[in-house]
Structure 1
């Protein structure tokens, strides 16, 4: 799909291959780049949040804005308010690939910790669970039929010191046992029936 004139720079391609070499081929990276480039405004080299949300929303049937804002925040590793192709690919790799558990849990924690203060509050977790339900249009398990009930369930298990917030250490420790928290972030726009 990609060609020489629309390929990522050799430096970017080498950096990406060094990190994700076992996951994507050069052709796949170039194809992603073509799609990414098609989403950019003329003269732009990175997606601002609004454009990122538009691209992201094409994959899901429900309301994606809330979830996509969080994905954007985590992908924007340099904090400049834009996601360039390298950040995009590394974000896609971390969010959707079978990485080592520590990387996956770190990524998940950053998604739930909306304000980046190193803790997940009930409000932050509720916001994410609600965003996931809106985006995927999926029902929660009957035992936790609302985002509020699911939030309470996870806080009962994750908040070890009962301080009404979950630290990164608590999150990582408990997420190894409660895989559902990670599964909630690995949303599949085309689930198998």
Structure 2
């Protein structure tokens, strides 16, 4: 069981996240409270999200979130991966936060979000929020088509990171839909 954080990790996290040593230690204590082994597996992430979204089905969203945060692909989220993601979505400038959102949505990791990826993620967000009204323009596929049509500047029917960030910067409604923590 990991009950301390290594000095080298504190130095790395201070540089990467801009959190103070005290803040890092506080986050670490909270992380260990939820994950006494010092590693968060997919099932534990789902259980954490269920506390925040009891009305929704958190599993589809957690699947994508877990894949994005588990950067070393070992099937577990360690504290460094966890706090790096927290910092990316809560603490950095708008471009970095939108970049983190894009990375979550780019399921294939090819540097682009296509309609299928966006449709799956919109569906996962609806599930997370317990949103059942999916008729007309609220249909995930229709919503994905509308978003891509609005943000796709080069006409390839996909969104690259630059298009995504620029589109969300210029449209507060899309920013709330696509990057709700931003």
Query: Taking structure 1 as the reference length, what is the TM-score of the superposition?
Result: 0.77
Matches within 5 A, 1:26-175: 26-40=21-35, 44-61=37-54, 62-97=56-91, 99-138=92-131, 144-175=137-168
* Alpha carbons of structure 1 residues 82 and 181: separation in structure 2 relative to 1, 3 Å: farther
3-state SS of 2:177 partner = helix
Per-residue deviation, 1:162:
3.2
Residues 58 and 50 of structure 1: CA distance in aligned 2, closer, same or farther (over 3 Å): same
TM-superposition CA deviations, 1:36-83 (whole Å, max 9, x none): 223336xx4322223222223322121111111222122122222221
**Structure 2: any 5+ residue segments left out of the alignment?**
none
Q: Aligned residue pairs: how many?
A: 179
Gaps of 5+ in 1: 189-193
2:177 counterpart of 1:180: no
Deviation (angstroms), 1:157: 0.7
State the shift of 1:122 in Å: 0.8
Q: 2:149, 2:157 within 8 Å by CA — same for their partners in 1?
A: no
The structure carrying a bigger helix percent of its residues is 2
TM-aligned CA deviation for residue 15 of structure 1 = 2.1
1:158–1:186: structure 2 CA closer, same or farther, 3 Å change rule?
A: closer
Asked if the contact 1:75–1:91 (Cα under 8 Å) also holds between the matched residues in 2, the reply is yes
